[in-house]
């Protein structure tokens, strides 16, 4: 018998209290990019905000782990 996976989606954060910080970051980046988030926002605009969030979070993690965000590793 196969195990069923719960359909929780990928928006579950490992740190529950990070939700508000991520929301704040999203709106700050949207403001920097001149994007007004809402139902009328295009997927391209939303993607630019999400992509920048990912880029900044990865750079933060690399810096926190003592790495250089500009260094390529193989």
What are the boundaries of each domain within the chain? 22-65
Look at residue 2 in the predicted model and tell me its pLDDT: 52
Q: What mean pLDDT is reported for the chain?
A: 83
Look at residue 69 in the predicted model and tell me its pLDDT: 61
Q: How far apart are CA 31 and CA 72, in angstroms?
A: 30
Close Cβ partners of 41 (under 8 Å, ≥ 6 residues apart)? 35
| Neighbouring C-beta atoms of residue 29, cutoff 10 Å | 19
Q: How far is CA 12 from CA 24, 54, 63, 69, in A?
A: 17, 15, 24, 26
Q: How far is CA 72 from CA 43, 66, 68, in A?
A: 29, 14, 9
Q: What is the percentage of the chain residues whose pLDDT exceeds 70?
A: 76
Question: pLDDT-based confidence at 7, cuts 50/70/90?
Answer: very low
Global confidence as pTM: 0.69
Question: pLDDT-based confidence at 17, cuts 50/70/90?
Answer: confident
Q: How far apart are CA 64 and CA 58, in angstroms?
A: 10
């Amino acid at each position: 018998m196969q195990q069923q996976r719960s359909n929780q989606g990928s928006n579950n954060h490992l740190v529950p209290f990070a939700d508000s910080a991520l929301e704040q970051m999203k709106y700050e980046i949207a403001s920097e990019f001149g994007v007004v988030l809402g139902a009328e926002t295009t997927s391209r605009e939303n993607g630019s905000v999400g992509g920048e969030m990912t880029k900044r979070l990865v750079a933060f993690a690399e810096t926190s782990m003592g790495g250089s965000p500009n260094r390529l590793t193989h």
